Each structure stands twice: as C-alpha cells, then as structure tokens.
Amino acid sequence: MAALGLTWVRIGEFAWGRLEPTPGDLHFGWLDEAIAVLGAAGLRVVLGTPTATPPRWMLTRHPDMLAVDDQGRLRGFGSRRHYCFSHAGYLEECRRITTLLAQRYGANPHVAAWQTDNEYGCHDTVISYSEAARAAFRGWLRMAYPGNGNDGDIGALNAAWGNVFWSMDYADFDEIDLPNLTVTEPNPAHVLAFRRFSSDQVVAFNRAQVDIIRQHSAAPVSHNYMGRVTDFDHFDLGADLDIATWDSYPLGFLEDRVGATPEQQRHFARQGDPDFQAFHHDLYRAVGAAQGAHGAGRGRWWVMEQQPGPVNWAPHNPAPLPGMVRLWTWEAFAHGAEAVCYFRWRQAPFAQEQMHTGMLRPDGAEAQAFHEAAMVAAELADAPDVAQRQARVGLIFDYGAEWMWQIQPHGAGLCYFDLVLQHYRALRRLGLSVDILPPSVRDFAGYGLVLAPGLMVVPDDLKAALSASGAQVLIGPRTAARDGEFRMPVPLPPAWNGLDVTVSRLQSLRADMPVPLAGGGAVTGWLEELEGGAEVVLRTASGDAVAMRAGKVTYMGGWGDGEALRLLLSELCALAGIAVQELPEGVRIRDTGTERFWFNHNPHPVDTPVGALPVAGVLRVPV
Amino acid sequence: MAALGLTWVRIGEFAWGRLEPTPGDLHFGWLDEAIAVLGAAGLRVVLGTPTATPPRWMLTRHPDMLAVDDQGRLRGFGSRRHYCFSHAGYLEECRRITTLLAQRYGANPHVAAWQTDNEYGCHDTVISYSEAARAAFRGWLRMAYPGNGNDGDIGALNAAWGNVFWSMDYADFDEIDLPNLTVTEPNPAHVLAFRRFSSDQVVAFNRAQVDIIRQHSAAPVSHNYMGRVTDFDHFDLGADLDIATWDSYPLGFLEDRVGATPEQQRHFARQGDPDFQAFHHDLYRAVGAAQGAHGAGRGRWWVMEQQPGPVNWAPHNPAPLPGMVRLWTWEAFAHGAEAVCYFRWRQAPFAQEQMHTGMLRPDGAEAQAFHEAAMVAAELADAPDVAQRQARVGLIFDYGAEWMWQIQPHGAGLCYFDLVLQHYRALRRLGLSVDILPPSVRDFAGYGLVLAPGLMVVPDDLKAALSASGAQVLIGPRTAARDGEFRMPVPLPPAWNGLDVTVSRLQSLRADMPVPLAGGGAVTGWLEELEGGAEVVLRTASGDAVAMRAGKVTYMGGWGDGEALRLLLSELCALAGIAVQELPEGVRIRDTGTERFWFNHNPHPVDTPVGALPVAGVLRVPV
Amino acid sequence: MAALGLTWVRIGEFAWGRLEPTPGDLHFGWLDEAIAVLGAAGLRVVLGTPTATPPRWMLTRHPDMLAVDDQGRLRGFGSRRHYCFSHAGYLEECRRITTLLAQRYGANPHVAAWQTDNEYGCHDTVISYSEAARAAFRGWLRMAYPGNGNDGDIGALNAAWGNVFWSMDYADFDEIDLPNLTVTEPNPAHVLAFRRFSSDQVVAFNRAQVDIIRQHSAAPVSHNYMGRVTDFDHFDLGADLDIATWDSYPLGFLEDRVGATPEQQRHFARQGDPDFQAFHHDLYRAVGAAQGAHGAGRGRWWVMEQQPGPVNWAPHNPAPLPGMVRLWTWEAFAHGAEAVCYFRWRQAPFAQEQMHTGMLRPDGAEAQAFHEAAMVAAELADAPDVAQRQARVGLIFDYGAEWMWQIQPHGAGLCYFDLVLQHYRALRRLGLSVDILPPSVRDFAGYGLVLAPGLMVVPDDLKAALSASGAQVLIGPRTAARDGEFRMPVPLPPAWNGLDVTVSRLQSLRADMPVPLAGGGAVTGWLEELEGGAEVVLRTASGDAVAMRAGKVTYMGGWGDGEALRLLLSELCALAGIAVQELPEGVRIRDTGTERFWFNHNPHPVDTPVGALPVAGVLRVPV
Ligand SMILES: [Zn+2]
Ligand SMILES: [Zn+2]
Ligand SMILES: [Zn+2]
C-alpha cells in the first residue's frame, strides 16, 4: 500500500465479532499486530469503532435492541446496522467497547485518527419505530415542551401542534405514539418533532463515543457520511467531530439516488453525475467546519471510500471509464479534501460485498483503480498544494427543510434536496464554484450571491443577516413558509422586512403542465401567486408575477427549470459582479486559490477555451 | 358569512376533544355560544356528531377499538377515522355522545339539520380485519344462514359457498376467518359475504345515531358522502336519512380517483372531469330518495363541501381556473341540490389541512372562491327556482355489483364503477340528462331507456319489471351473470325470459387487443361469446355476435369503447324516441323543469348552438 | 369421457374434507363408488393424495402449521396449499391419510397411477419463514456442517459463509435465523443454504408419501409440476417418482410468467409463447428420467392439466384460437408425453375456479376443447407411435443456479431461467430439437453441442466430463463463477482446465446500454472482461474480448441478445456438424424418431419448405 503512495488505512470498523467473540472475552492481539505492521510500513491508521455491526450475542443480551420499520417489522440480525439508536442497553455496550479501544490505542502513535461507527443512516437506519424509540421520543418531547418538574407541558405541545384540529389533543406525554400507521396522514408537526428527535438520537449516540475517545486520545475523530443520506442533521453531528469524511460512489449513486432522467443515467453511466459528488464535497466541507462559529470557513474533510470500479449494490453496476478514478480523486482534492481513500483494498471473495471491486482483485492481481491511484499519487507529488478559497456564491442547505418537504411535499415527488441540487447544478453550469452553507450561518462576508431556495424555516435573525449581507439574495419557493412548529405564519410568507411580497396562494402541478415564463424557461411542479408592491422581475408568459425583488432580495415564487434558473442566476450574478461562463454539458470547473481545475465528465472529448479535454480528462490551469 | 349570501354553517363534526376533553368532563359552553352567535346572525346550523375523531383517551378505554388493515396492521391514532365499525364499546360511546348532543340541541331553533359522523369510508375505513370484525362477521353469518336456535346452519353456508371445492367446509361458524392473507385467492362467496357484512356494519353504526337524534329532534338528519367511495351501500344507509350530502372536490378527484388518461388529466387539470361530479350529483339524488318506495322520484341532497381552490391531499393540487367554483356551484343546483356549502370557511394555518384553501386565507383576506360564491349568491337571487324533472334515461347503479367485480374482475383493471361511468359519459356526450337508479327500483314509468350494464345479480322480479317497463333496456356485459351467492346460474346467463341469448364463453383481453366492431368502435377488455335465437344487432368485424336483441331488451356481450357506446346508445335512443345531440368535448347539458343549462368544462371557449360559451362558462336557457 | 377417447381420469387431489369431514371420521364410500364407476367405463384412475388442501379442522389440531411469508405474515386458511413443509405434525397427518388411501386402493385394479399432493410450490409456497421452518433449518444446518455428536460444527459454518465479514459469526446453530427482514441484504451463503433447505423439505415431504404408497401399491407414482416454479429442485424430487407430470397453461403463462415483451404478449395472446411449453416438456422429460443414472435417456412424463380454454387466474384470460388445444396436445406428444389430460372436465359454477373453462360448460354442453380433444384422439388412433430419439443438442438446467442468480442477480432483472430459456429459444429458431439435462449428468455421449450458460457451480468432474465429451461446449456467462458455498474461487473463474481464460472484472448494464459486437448482435445486461491466452472468437465493436475458445470449449463472457446467440450457436453447430435451418417467427420444429413435426404458433398462416401451415397448424412429416 505504501508503495502505491497510500498513507492512510482504515481498520476495525466491522470487527466487534473478532474483538469480542463472546461477551467479555476480548481478543486485541490481532489488532495490536495489525496496527504495528501497518505503522512499521509507514502507514497511518484510522481506527474505527465497531458499533455498526453488533455481534449475534448482543441480541441475546438485548433482545429489544433492534430497530422497527414504519410497517412495524423488526429489522433483524444478518447484515449490519441492526440496532435502534434509542436503545439504552446497546448504547451502553457501545460505550464499553469504545472505552476499551480508546484506552488501548488512544496513545498508539500509529493510530492517527478515529472513526465512529460506519455510515450512520445507511439502509434507512435513522428512523425507528421501536418501543425504545417511542419511550425516548416521549422523553424528548417533555424536554422540548418543558413544564414544571420533569413532566413537560402537554398543553404547550397541543397548542404548538394545533392538535385541536381533529380532536388530537393529548392529556399526557405518555399518550403520544410514533407517527406511523395512522389511518391517514398524521399531523405534520408531530412528524417533524419525530424527525428532529430521530436526528438528535444519532447525534447523541455519536457523541457518547466521541467523548470517550477524547478522554484517551488526541487524534482527530471522524465519521464517514454517505451520499444523500439526510435523515439526520450532519451539521449537528459534525459539530462534535474533527473531520468529516464521506463515501463517494459516483456510479452507484447515479443508479440509485441522484434522480437523473433515464437519458442522463445512460449518458453518465460510466462517469457518474457531474455535480452530485461535487455537491457532497462542498456539503461535507461545510459539515467539517461545523464546529467553528459560522461554517463559512474551511472545514477538514476527506473521502473515506472512493469507488474503485464496479460495486455490488446498485440496480446496475457498470465499470467506470478508464481515468474516472483519477478524475474523481482529483476532483475531491480540488474541492479541498485532505485525503482520498479507496474502498476496498482487496476484493473479498465471500459474503455480501464479494462483487465490490477493490484496488486488488480477489486473487491479488492489481485492478484498474490501482494504476489510476498510483498515477494520482505521482501527480500529487509534483503538484502545488491545493489552497482553498472562499467561493463568491453561497448556497444554504438545511436538513430540517429536507424533512419538512418530505413531510409535506404537497405535489408528488417534490423534494428539497432536488431543489437545492438543481440550483447547485445551474450555478456550476455557469462555471461557478459554490460554498454550501449551514442554516446557522449569519456572517455572509465575501459572498456576492447567497441562495436559500426552499428553506422553509427562516428565523428573524437570518432574514436580517441576509438582508444586511450586501450580497444578492435569492429566496423562494417556499422560503420562510413555516414557523418552527410547522405552522403557516400570519402575516403570510415570506413576511420579509423590506420586501413587500405575499404568497397569496400556491399550487402544485403535474410534470406535464409546465408554465412557460415570459423570458424563456418555465416553472414546473410548484407555482405560487405573489402579491405586494415589490418589483416584478419575472412573469409567466400570461403575465402573472413569478419573481419579485426589493433591493438585493429576490423572491422566486416557483420551481424554475434549468433554463429559468440559468437566466435568473445569470442576471443575479451580473448584478453581483460575478463573472460567469456557460460550460458544455458534463464539463465542470473548480477554482482553488492556486489553480482552476477543468473536469470532463462526458464519454467523449470536449474542446474548451483552455484546450482539449479528453474523456475523463482533468486540466489544471494555474491562477 | 351571511353577508356573502351563505345560509348554512356546519359545525361540531370533529369536536369530540373540545366537547369532552377527558372522559365524562363535558364542555358544551363554547358550542352553546357558537350556535347562538351563528343563529343570531341569521345562519342555520348543521350540527355534526363528532364520532369520526374519537379523542386519545377513547383508546385508553377501548384499546381494541382500532381497525386492522388487510395486511394485519393496526390503523392507529394520530389522524382521524381511527375506529372499527364492529367495535361494540366504541359504538356505545358514540351512542352516549350523540344522546348528549341530541338532548341538548334537539330543540334548538338554530340547529336546522344534523350530520352523522363525517365521510364514512374515507381513507378506506369501511373494511376492517380486526378481532371485533371477525366476531361480528361470524354473528352476521349465523343470521344470514339461520338454523335451529342461535347457531346458524353451517351446512347451508357450506353448500351456498361451494366450500367442498378445495376442502374448505366449516364445521362451525366459529371456524370462519376473515378472507384476508389467504395463500391464494379466497372463495368469492366468502369475500362477498364479508363485503356485505362490512357495509351492513356501517349502516348499523349510522342508524344507532339517527335513532337517537330522532328521539330528540325534528330537524332532518344527513351524512356527507365522499366521491367514489363504494365500500358500503349508500342506498341502504341513505334509507335512514333525510338528506344525502356529499363532498365535491373536482380537481382532487381527477388526480386521485377518476381514472382518466394522462391526457385528460392534463386537459381538465384546472376544471375537473366533466362527468364525475354530475354522476355523483345524480347518484346522491337517488340516495337521498332512498327512503321512498322507488327511488326514481326527487331526493333531497346537498353539496356539503365544495372545493374552493387548491386542496392539500391529491398527488398534485393545482388551482381551479377562475370561474370554476361558480360553475361547480351552478352545476350542483342544476342537478337538484338544495344547498351548496364550501369547505372551508377560513384556511387553517396548522395541522393536516393547512394547505387546504378556504373562502378566506389564513390571514382573513378574501380568497378567489369568496368572490365566486358571492357572484352565485347574487345570480341565484335573480334566478327562477330550479324545478327538477325526471330524465328520459335511467341508469342502474348497484354497490353489490361493484363489490362482485372487485372480487372477480377476471381481467386486470376491469371495474364496475368505470363501466357505469363510461355509459353515463356516453349518454351525456349525447346531450342527455340521466337519472341514477338503485337496484331496488321496479317502477320504470317515464323512462324511455333503462341501462343495467354489469349488474351481476338481477332478481327475477327485476328482470320481469325491466321487460315489462315499455322502455328500451340495455343489459350486459355480465348482467345477471351470478346468483346472490356468487354462483354462476344454470341455465347459463343471462337466462332472461323472452330473450334467447346464452353467454357460452367469455374472455378478458389486454388493453392493446381491441376487437373492432363491424359498424365502428371496438370492444376492449371484456368479450363474451353469445348463442341463441335472438336477433344479432352488433357483430365484430369478423362476424361474431356481440349484441343481441329481442323486443326491447338488448344484451351487449362486451365492454364497448366510447365510439361503440355512442353508436349503440344513439340507436337505442332513436328506438325510444329520445332526441340526442352530440356535444363537443368538455361541454355538457343539464335539463331541469325550467331551464336548460350549458356548462363548458374546457380551458378554452366553445361555440354552441345557443351561443358562445366562455371558459368556465354557464349558460341558462329557459325551457 | 371414454367415448371422447379419454383413458385417464384424476380424482381425489383436493378431497380431504370429503374423505374425513371431522378428524378420524372417514368416508371412503363415495370414492369407492367413483373408482368403480370410472373403472367400469374403461377409464384408468390417477388417485391423488389430498394433502394440498388440509381441512379447517386440521388448523385446530395444528395451529402453527401455516407457512409464513417473508414479511412475517401468516398464510392462512381459505384457499389451498396452506401448510408449511417443515411442520412435523402436519407431515404426520399426511402420512396417516396417505396410508389409509394406499391401504384401501393400493391393489385396486382401476387405480393405475398415483399423484402426490398437487402443484408443489404453486402460489410461492415452498419458502416459509415459520417457526417450524426455522427450527428445521437449524437442524438441517447441523447435518450440513457436521461436528462431533449431534450439534454440528458452527466454526465450519462460519468459515464456509465468511461470517467474519460483518461480525456475523454464530456461536451456536440455535442463533441462526431465517434470512428475511434483515436490515440490508443477508449473506448470500446464508440465503443459499436456506434455499437448499427449503427445496429439501419439499423433497422429504413428498418422499414420505411415496414410501407409503409403494408399500401398498405397484402402480406408478407421479406429481404434477407447474410451469416456471423453480423454488425446489425438481430433479431431486423426481428421483423418487415414476412419472413426471405438469400442468400446461400456455395463455395464462404468457400473461403472468413468460416475461415476454408487450408486443410478444399481444402477438401470441391466443396461442401462447412458442417455446415456453416445449421447454417444460423437455425439462420434465429429464425430470421424469431423474431416477436413472444420467438423465439423457427417455423419461416418463405427462401433461396432467392441459388448458382447454380461458382460465380464471391470469391478469387477462383470452380464449385460445380454434385449433390451439389440438396443437398443444400434439406438441406434448411430439416431445414424448405418454398422456395428455385436460383440466377440467366440467366447469364448476362456484368457488374460486368458476371462470376456469373445461371440456364441458357448467350446463353440460360441450365446449370448444371437447371437439379438439376428440379430433386429436381420432388422429392419434391413425398415427404411428411417437418414437423419441436423443437430440443432438443438450442444455443443462440447474435449479441451484436459479437460486444463486436470484440471490445475487447483480443487475436488476437478470435471471438464470431467462438466460437458459433464451438459449433454448435461439436453438429452436435454428430448427433444433433440444434435450434438457440435469447438472448431475456426466455422460454426454451422442451430443454434438452442450450448453451450460450461467451454471454458477460446476464441480471439477463435470468440467472434466464436458471437456472430454467430444461435443462443442458453450459455457458462460457466470459459469463456474462460485463454489458450493457461494464464494468466488481463487484462481478466478472459470478456472477450467485447458481453457486459459480468466474473468478479470464484470459489470451489469442498464437495458438501454447494449454493447454492440463486432460481427453483429450485442451484449445486454451483463458483460465480463476476459484475460488469458485462449483464442478470442468474439469481440465487442470496440475490440474487447467477449468470447474465447480452446479446443471445443467456448467461454462467452456476456449475455448475448437474440442475434448474438443466433450467430454464435450457428457457428458452434457448424463446428459440431449439426445442420440448422432458420425458422420464421412463431414456427417451430420437433424431431422424433418417426416424424418431423411442424407447429405454427402464429395468428396467421405461414409458408414452410414442407407446405403451408395454417393458423394453429400441425404438420407431421415422416422421417
Ligand atoms: Zn477467546
Ligand atoms: Zn373540564
Ligand atoms: Zn361421518
């Protein structure tokens, strides 16, 4: 590994069964030796806690530790992530094993970083409808609606949720069930509370391990996030960690979660979506910075698992085009990654991931990715350090808004993540680099343009900070549409100081009913009717207001398609003095402090102003 | 409200929690006051029993009161309609609260009508697979197959159902389970009995409240039915009520239950299907008359909830075109509605229906529907009273036939409701007004044409009454195909006196296999082979008999498409001396005793023989 | 019946309720009489054991006898096949009733054959997740991984399955659950063991009855298999029987299991797929021969249920074209059937199969199939006996490979059965007759070409036998890709002596990404990368190796489409000296020792070299 240029190796993340084959019978010898051997070879170890794979005996000790799905089915033993975050007994076992590991390896010089658990939320494991979750949810609600003593104020909860609506009032917190298997839809406020609770349980579970590790080790602590897992708030969790890492599987993701059209899926089948990985790089850079005061600064982040070839888990598992592993690696560095690790080193010829390729084949022969990783390692040795710099454009992403759209999409298939990703994509097609910002940010210094589409809850101080930022601000659709209890505010949204705009009515539309805009493009899926004295800056072809502006704040009352966003964002960039350049399909730029990177995600070469980009090509142009 | 021209206000239908926040602690003060205030303003109150929303404490008292779905999952608290109709304990609670309300308000001069519960059957709540339902079903079967004493005649049941077929005989009624989760399909006779039982449970549940109200009040009693809810027999339930009302959501229904093609869904997205509401108006007029002896007369019926703008619950929720709320209102009056109420008065900014628009916005501003309702109120003041008159065409609709087709569609997607609606649509495209008739009707005086497509069970006296009616009679496909125990009669169907036709074989067909007819149009989905000496009046292009006739009775042995129905019905109208006029797409006529109404459901203007019809236009031509 | 030319009648298969209406109260009189009457009429009786329909009282005696589906739902009483194969109590009841029948009728001269149960596996009834199944599975595993004493070697199991992978090691066999409802996919080795166990349970269940019957009767014992039921190994089960029979429903199968395109479904809607029945004829001929040493010989097999007209259970149920019942009957005889029986004799006007046509209508009139069966009977009387002869082409079909592809399709929709059927179809379009071979065959004498596509496990002695057979051998894709424990072998597959080919990487592909081949045709869905010194005999259009050959063994590293298979198989036939002739769509040939049969499955006539083939035409050309 070291010869290839690798410097980091992660181990231990699924090893509970080998560490403790029967309860209390601990076997650390093999791990001692493995760390010593790797360290002697000059490799630095990321040591994972093994809590994503509780051994079978754990279920004997804690028969009720399993999660329950929304249909009431136990999610059993036999694969991984078979635990409920709310189970106190399992949490205590995790504290125990983490303590043992931290005590033993906290001062080991080769253990240069830690990883907690593995891919929280993968396989839809954040949300559990178990008895343990129900009990914990009631406790969480008592804290959220505090009363005298420990019992909470049930009247406050009833009032906040509007439970009077269908005689849903509760007399006691112990009457509150989880919001699944109701006859028709549950109260959105009820669901939102449950989603927040579920996220908080992940954060608390993780924090328990972090607190223990820090008592014994000065090495940084990380977790490897997944792509498009939004069931817990990564900013909240990231605030307890030193490094955000994520597992980047461009081809698998294009197959199972990007949401691309069939045409795009075919076009990019061997290269991956041109924006999806970059979006996550930028998102997790922000998550990595979540410990800081604002999040606009530079965060520590890695790619912990880079797809090296065909994987085993997507609906279809094609091979990447030659060069794509190199491209993906460079792309990560261009977005500020400190490290890019490949998963896995050697393909395992047994069990669930036997079809997941690695750097080596099961027979030890070098696979395609081996050579590309070696090439990047050599190139990196010759390259200047990537110096990150703040982008001119900031885009707010809020996990809470994602939950609210999921709870109340209002139109089939409408989704906050898609809305934000489509704005990100439109910005990138204009040649822009983007910073993803958490909703907690209040300092927008340095940004010429800030976007907050679909951000359903906007606290007053965020409204004020945006208005005062000096940047062009794009909000809507649905921005500031709800208060924190999922109620529609009165005066009606967006109720933005200095912006005389009111959403007087709104509708969701079938996909085959685009509403054309006067200047080109269309609104699809979501359309609001706007009232007020602000300037109308965009109209439907039949003359209705779609976007309105006062000063530097623009409210967009619809879901713009690609062309509508191109036009609107181009105009806003012009107002903000941000230069744009329209890029061909599949070509993307990333600006760092030292270089401009060009990436070709197409299966064909492309001519660019800086020269020809071959298939899977990466061009680095010094600034 | 009164200033707008409204005269009726419904209250109380979800108020159990406010009336009785804890068991036995009754709070009528607010309701006393509300009725007094409304009455003082000149409004008449419809008082709803609150039994659709049992409070949370009810489940503590009756933990087993919940319904169970066909997969065995409890349907829990947290929204509404969370009860099983067969639960004796909950029924008793409903009797108790209804008694309290009836005693207190039965003589109140402002309470001018009652409503029981709310939208029976909405959210698929008629059919429950609970323990309570199983016990009640066994009791119901004992009554249906009576024996000596109370125990029923299990041999009679076995014989009636043909249980010998797969060794399914029972030795005792207590061995009979509900027909869900069987290995493959259950005995259709078993399912039919369960469907009849389930319907009867709703009727009995409702009757319990009606009986109590009548002891204390002379005001009429109503229930608000839903669109295309067919799981209980509305004629049976309506026979206990004074007024049938229904909740008309044209745009929501087009999205989630009309069954239109995607093209039609787009074309009518902002206007609703041109026949679906009218069909229900005519259906519920018949349901309103169900107390009478025959049902062909004039029934009392209302629209209790008229969609005022975008709603919250359909897959997509577009806004109606301007004028459609007025059109829908006039359409209801033209079909004989006594009253049209709008739901809701003011949009609630919280809980499940926060996206359901009203006459007023959440901030109290007047919404689009407010102005259209005011316009109708003014127009009504100037208009002659609508005088209903019997139509020349009667169309039988039978809830039992709907269940039988659902139990045994024989071909994927074949549905009785669709069959009847397509006949209704074809009649309306010929400019005809139609009376929907219950299967209990025997007096067909005044009708020139009576249709009974798909009516699977036809008692001998109904056959005789139809043959003797003097009207042209159209039956088939599948008319008289089964006896009351879901057995195929021998001699084979339709076994109709005076009509020498036998269905010798039948088949269901893929949608891409239309069978063209000799004279135009085609049969799709369902085709029978006919034998016998009756005159062949319709053949396939290859010469096989499809429709046969003797005297005035025509048997149609296939599912005709729009063109086939147009041709066949035109011919029958000509034979019956009923004038027709073919209408453009989306234009419909309704004849009353005083006026002919023209309605334009298209998103574009249409020229008609009586002048131009604008978008959402209503023309009234005196007779 | 006898007058029609029928010679066999099957009775008793669902009669448990009539034989034993209450536990222990036996009623054999009616059956004695039925057999006597039939026998007196010259008919031979196939007597079925009634174990597919346990009476209701059986559940009272054995409340836990029901199967459980993969979602944990009990599969209840009310139709048929409501039992779990692993339930010891029900198995004992089956032994009891079988003993009673065998004792009473074992020597009856009219009982000329037996049938065990009915359609094992129909309605997905092989696999059960019941408690009984779980306990039995643990016992089965103890036998599969034997240790000292009775407790098995859990370490051997852990090693074989690779349970270390995600800390899945077990300490005891009693910790092993069934592989359903896991959080993400279970270990494929775990699932494969469960699938093998499930198959073995069916075999054991059947064997219990066979052993009893043989103690009392010399008549042959049969079972009626279904079409495309692959959840148990029919070769294993068939090894205990004398005759394989199957139930052939060409139109129903085309609708619900062939997997044809919509265009093919429409084209063949009234004739059935042109290869699906023939494939099963050839398959069950091999199953019928499974008792012998090799399976390439002649097996005894029948069609026990031949579709006579529209049935009741498919998504659509069209009528066969006139003549198809005759064609299907002749086709069965041409493939070697000893007998063809029609199901059912008279259409039952009640219960689940009331829409399943028969030879007679419910009113006793003769239906279409009656006349066609009579015609075949007359033709048979004049025809020479069909003399079977070994085909020149053998095609291996392995139930275990089917399970492995189902467990790990790797690409959505990829299925072993389809792969084999597509090879069979391509062979038949070349005018070839084919023998299906079990994976146990080692003697390939007489074959010029042997195919083993997708045969994931190939024992060394089968590899050797194929290489030494003298036939052209076509293997791949995925042939020899796994060992018996679902591990990828190292050296990498196919690891075939004398064939220097290694699958270095593989991928699954979206259906819209065909990879064109240099000589025509394409690879779709599955593509391997091949290395090694063998000759490349097929390349992609861009030059990558797709098929390689050494001597007479050809490895195909992709899923060829119809054109690719046509080209490749034509070449292999040329190398093997097997004459081919390309047939028009829907026309098929079957060669026997005495005649060449031509069949026209098209809805239009076709000209052939031997004359015109009318719709549903059968031509017999003497050899
Ligand atoms: Zn040990
Ligand atoms: Zn009180
Ligand atoms: Zn008896």
Residue of chain C nearest A366, judged by CA positions: C504
- pLDDT value at residue B294: 36
What lies within 8 Å, CB to CB, of A55 at 6+ separation is A16, A17, A20, A21, C167, C169
> CB contact, 8 Å: C363 with chain B?
yes
Domains observed in chain A = 393-576 (3.40.50.880), 587-622 (no CATH)
Q: What is the mean pLDDT of residues B61-70?
A: 98
Give me the residues near ligand 1 (ion), CB cutoff below 5 Å.
Answer: A 25
Residue of chain A nearest C159, judged by CA positions: A350
Residue of chain B nearest A158, judged by CA positions: B351
Q: Which of A13, A255, A305, A595 is catalytic?
A: A305
Q: What is the mean pLDDT of residues C78-87?
A: 98
Answer yes or no: do A187 and B269 touch at CB < 8 A: no
CA distance C415 to C410: 10
Whether residue C5 contacts residue C41, with contact meaning beta carbons closer than 8 Å, is answered with: no
For an interface test with A, the pick among C168, C478, C526, C540 (most A C-beta atoms closer than 10 Å) comes out as C168
- pLDDT value at residue B507: 97
CA distance B54 to B77: 9
Q: How far apart are the first and last CA of chain A?
A: 33
- pLDDT value at residue B447: 98
Answer yes or no: do C492 and A361 touch at CB < 8 A: yes
For chain B, the average pLDDT equals 96
pLDDT digits (tens, 9 = 90+) for C340-375: 999 999 999 999 999 999 999 999 999 999 999 999
- The ligand whose atoms approach the alpha carbon of C29 most closely is 3
Q: What is the mean pLDDT of residues B427-445?
A: 97
> CB contact, 8 Å: B25 with chain A?
no
pLDDT at B297 exceeding the cut of 50 = no
* Structure-block tokens of residue B534: 């009756």
Query: How many Å lie between the centroid of ligand 2 and the Cα of residue B100?
Result: 16
CA distance B404 to A48: 60
- Nearest by CB to A510, from B73, B316, B355: name it: B316
Residue C84 among known ligand-binding residues: yes
Q: Which residues of chain A have pLDDT under 70?
A: 291-298
Q: Which of B13, B119, B331, B402 is catalytic?
A: B119
Q: What is the mean pLDDT of residues B403-432?
A: 98
Instruction: Flag the least confident range among B420-429, B580-589, C146-155, C547-556.
Output: C146-155
Minimal C-alpha gap between C450 and chain A (Å): 28
Q: Which of A119, A331, A372, A402 is catalytic?
A: A119
Q: How far apart are the first and last CA of chain B?
A: 33
What lies within 8 Å, CB to CB, of C261 at 6+ separation is none
pLDDT digits (tens, 9 = 90+) for C298-314: 579 999 999 999 999 99
- The ligand whose atoms approach the alpha carbon of C27 most closely is 3
Pairing of strands C553-556, C545-550: antiparallel
> CB contact, 8 Å: C78 with chain B?
yes
- Nearest by CB to C76, from B170, B181, B529: name it: B181
pLDDT digits (tens, 9 = 90+) for B481-491: 999 999 999 99
Whether residue C80 contacts residue C86, with contact meaning beta carbons closer than 8 Å, is answered with: no
Residues 99-158 of C with CB under 8 A from B: 122-123, 125
- pLDDT value at residue A297: 42
For an interface test with A, the pick among C69, C169, C175, C183 (most A C-beta atoms closer than 10 Å) comes out as C183
Burial class (CB in 10 A: 0-12, 13-18, 19+), C33: exposed
> CB contact, 8 Å: A438 with chain B?
no
CA distance A441 to A422: 22
> CB contact, 8 Å: A25 with chain C?
no
* Residue A361 CB coordination number (10 Å): 23
> CB contact, 8 Å: A24 with chain C?
no
Tokens 């006051």 -> residue: B33
pLDDT at B296 exceeding the cut of 50 = no
- Nearest by CB to C183, from A16, A125, A354: name it: A125
Residues in chain A: 623
Minimal C-alpha gap between B69 and chain A (Å): 10
Whether residue C297 contacts residue C217, with contact meaning beta carbons closer than 8 Å, is answered with: no
Query: How many Å lie between the centroid of ligand 2 and the Cα of residue B95?
Result: 21
Whether residue C613 contacts residue C319, with contact meaning beta carbons closer than 8 Å, is answered with: no
- Provide the Cα torsion A191, A193, A194, A196; round to 10°: 120
How far, CA to CA in Å, does B270 sit from each of B43, B162, B437, B618? 32, 50, 30, 16
pLDDT at B292 exceeding the cut of 70 = no
3-state secondary structure of C74: strand
Residue C295: which pLDDT band, with cuts at 50, 70 and 90? very low
Return the CA Rg of chain B: 25
Closest CA to A410 of A501, A482, A502: A482
Whether residue A564 contacts residue A522, with contact meaning beta carbons closer than 8 Å, is answered with: yes
Q: What backbone phi and psi angles, to 5 degrees, belong to C543?
A: 100, 0
pLDDT digits (tens, 9 = 90+) for C381-416: 988 887 889 999 999 999 999 999 999 999 999 999
Catalytic-residue membership of A305: yes
Please give the biggest Cα pair distance in chain A.
75
pLDDT digits (tens, 9 = 90+) for C197-217: 999 999 999 999 999 999 999
Please list, residue by residue across A491-526, b when 16 or more beta carbons sit within 10 angstroms of its beta carbon and e when fewer do: ebbbbbeebebbbbbbbbbbeebbbebeeebbbbbb
Query: How many Å lie between the centroid of ligand 1 and the Cα of residue C148?
Result: 21
Whether residue C439 contacts residue C456, with contact meaning beta carbons closer than 8 Å, is answered with: no
- pLDDT value at residue B243: 95
Distance of CA A487 to the CA centre of its chain: 26
For chain C, the average pLDDT equals 96
What lies within 8 Å, CB to CB, of B63 at 6+ separation is none
CA B298, B304, B310, B314 dihedral sign is negative
Answer yes or no: do C14 and B165 touch at CB < 8 A: yes
- pLDDT value at residue B298: 56
Closest CA to B46 of B203, B219, B263, B269: B219
The secondary structure element, H or E, covering residue C30 is helix C29-40
- pLDDT value at residue C294: 36
CA distance B202 to B233: 9
* Residue B363 CB coordination number (10 Å): 15
CA distance C434 to C334: 12
pLDDT at B572 exceeding the cut of 70 = yes
Question: Bridge partners of B496?
Answer: B499
Q: Which of B20, B93, B255, B305 is catalytic?
A: B305
Whether residue A110 contacts residue A31, with contact meaning beta carbons closer than 8 Å, is answered with: no
CA B268, B274, B275, B281 dihedral sign is positive
- Nearest by CB to B166, from C75, C352, C367: name it: C352
Minimal C-alpha gap between B381 and chain A (Å): 30
- pLDDT value at residue C291: 66
CA distance C421 to C408: 19
Helix axes C29-40, C88-105, angle to 10 degrees: 50
Residue B554: which pLDDT band, with cuts at 50, 70 and 90? very high
- pLDDT value at residue B150: 75
- HSE-up of residue A507 (Cα within 13 Å, Cβ side): 23
Residue C586: which pLDDT band, with cuts at 50, 70 and 90? very high
For an interface test with A, the pick among B354, B356, B357, B372 (most A C-beta atoms closer than 10 Å) comes out as B354
Q: What backbone phi and psi angles, to 5 degrees, belong to A86?
A: -95, 0
Q: What is the mean pLDDT of residues B127-150?
A: 95
Distance of CA C204 to the CA centre of its chain: 18
Residue of chain A nearest C510, judged by CA positions: A316
Residues of C marked active site are found at 119, 305
CA distance C388 to B39: 93
CA distance A340 to B289: 76
Distance of CA A297 to the CA centre of its chain: 18
- Nearest by CB to B15, from A167, A177, A489: name it: A167
Pairing of strands A587-591, A595-600: antiparallel
Catalytic-residue membership of A529: no
CA distance C397 to C379: 34
Query: How many Å lie between the centroid of ligand 1 and the Cα of residue A24?
Result: 9
Q: What is the mean pLDDT of residues C147-160?
A: 91
Give me the residues near ligand 3 (ion), CB cutoff below 5 Å.
Answer: C 25
CA distance C113 to C11: 11
CA distance B161 to B186: 11
What percentage of chain C has pLDDT greater than the value 90? 95
Question: Bridge partners of B22?
Answer: B25
CA distance C284 to A121: 48
Distance of CA B583 to the CA centre of its chain: 26
- pLDDT value at residue C299: 75
CA distance C524 to A135: 51
> CB contact, 8 Å: B494 with chain C?
no
How far, CA to CA in Å, does A500 sit from each of A496, A530, A532, A575? 7, 10, 5, 20
* Structure-block tokens of residue B231: 């799981």
Closest CA to B161 of B148, B176, B149: B176
CA distance C183 to C120: 30
- pLDDT value at residue B151: 85
Chains touching A by CB (3 or more pairs below 8 Å)? B, C
* Residue B536 CB coordination number (10 Å): 15
* Structure-block tokens of residue C255: 């609708």
